[in-house]
Structure 1
């Protein structure tokens, strides 16, 4: 049985008329975590303290390393999967307080202020908030409202032939076939594949494949896989080319990214 990210009594209490408008919890578990698609009447902010989580929503997959979080508006269906051991947190916010928060799901980078506020809120007993707790809860809302969206998602196309291509790529990101070869394999003209890919995902074919590789690399780095192994799995001829791609996409190297996550979660 999957351990809930937040105590069941807090989840149930949050639906009551006298419940606090914000409830939070933290969880650490050794085994990988998988949660089937579901939704909440309240908004939810979820993040990792260590390890890495994938969140599925609206035909997209968001990869969420530590120091990032995913905001889910009320009634938004989503699923969750962790990659290996996991420590994370979740905040539920009453629907009535979500009007000033983003209307669509988004990935955000968490600030030290937000992480500390959530950590404090996770220790609250679930009763009415006192004045000091209310101020901390309002800080959490302000931080979510002000945070810009981060590019941690991978949109999935709807057109069956495009889905055939993306499914094959996800299954083997080392496959280096050119767009023209993929178009022939899927029964499309190169021009049609290129045009439909951009229209349905907002990304060119090359951008989509690179984003898929970056997100897979983030997953594998979080799992402790060596940089050399990751580079080979993603189809790079040498480690330097992979590190250059990772740095262009994330602003840092795989090693420094792993170190920053470890420091943020300690």
Structure 2
């Protein structure tokens, strides 16, 4: 945009607290695992972005972004065409966001600030409008825990296999017995080890996996009827009720909340 680089390495050593980069990425675009010296705000103003780290998986639509601290290895996959707007931030400039990967709520104001930041030169003026805009942007970066969009990753090898199987087939009927068989564990051992490894019950993790999958399907404009069927719900209304309880709005309205139009039901 306006001649600015689309190479992340060009944004790591600039003498400014924030550097903003714009890239338009196609559906399915994948960025392999990598890390960098600056913290990163990963945000797409369209579609959805899946961010994977050793700590888990986050899926975010255009109303939210993922904060990745400096040095944390992460990968990224686009669902739908994603207009990615990335901030690279000196860790000392955002001390409230140093703890680990987390989700940041993107308000209409923050969205416009990020868009404007990508239009500024990398060596923007620290004094005057440009510097004040970046200062306000940093003030607007507030963490928002969104457990409905997060799948914690277990380190236990038996549970890694099970969780991969659930993610591949979230619409299957995952009972305690079928999950235990997949993990080669007794149901008692499964429940104990699963809760210890993920902080969630098996049933909660399966529900989260369904939500994460639903978000990627909805980002590709799949109708709610087909999403609910693929995820194993008896009726679209049952899926909609679960989705609304988890994320606070109906699936047909979820992406419209990011400024998109169209009803997907």
CA contact (8 A) 2:28 2:78 kept: yes
Question: Would you say how many aligned residue pairs link Structure 1 and Structure 2?
Answer: 257
Mean CA deviation greater in 200-209 or 158-167: 158-167
Gaps of 5+ in 2: none
Whether the 8 Å CA contact 1:73–1:98 is kept in 2: the answer is no
Structure 2 residue aligned with 1:211: 208
Query: Where in structure 1 are there 5+ consecutive unaligned residues?
Result: none
The runs of at least 4 aligned residues of structure 1 exceeding 4 Å deviation read 8-11
Give the structure 2 partner of residue 171 of structure 1. Answer: 168
Counterpart for residue 31 of structure 2: 35
TM-score, normalised relative to structure 2: 0.89
Cα deviation digits, residues 188-243 of structure 1 (max 9, x gap):
12121111111100110000000000111011001111111111111112111111
> Which piece of structure 1 moves more, 111-120 or 23-32?
23-32
Task: Kindly report the root-mean-square deviation, in angstroms, between the aligned alpha carbons of the 2 structures.
Answer: 2.1
Higher alpha-carbon deviation: 251-260 or 92-101: 92-101
- Greater shift, 149-158 or 72-81, is seen at 149-158
- Look up the match of 2:251: 254
Work out whether 1:124 is the aligned partner of 2:120.
Answer: yes
| Separation (CA, whole Å) in 2 of partners of 1:250 and 1:256 | 11
- Displacement of 1:167: 1.6
TM-score (normalizing by structure 1): 0.89
Q: 208-217 vs 115-124, which deviates more?
A: 115-124
1:196 aligned partner: 193
- In the superposition, relative to structure 1, how do residues 254 and 161 fare at CA in structure 2: closer, same or farther (>3 Å)? same
Residue in 2 aligned with 1:49? 45
Q: 1:97 aligns with which of 93, 101, 109?
A: 93
Q: 1:36 to 1:13 in 2, by over 3 A?
A: closer
Distance 1:31 1:237, change over 3 A: closer
User: Is 1:7 the counterpart of 2:10 in the alignment?
Assistant: no
Q: Does 1:224 align with 2:210?
A: no
What is the distance in 2 between the residues matched to 1:219 and 1:31?
A: 11
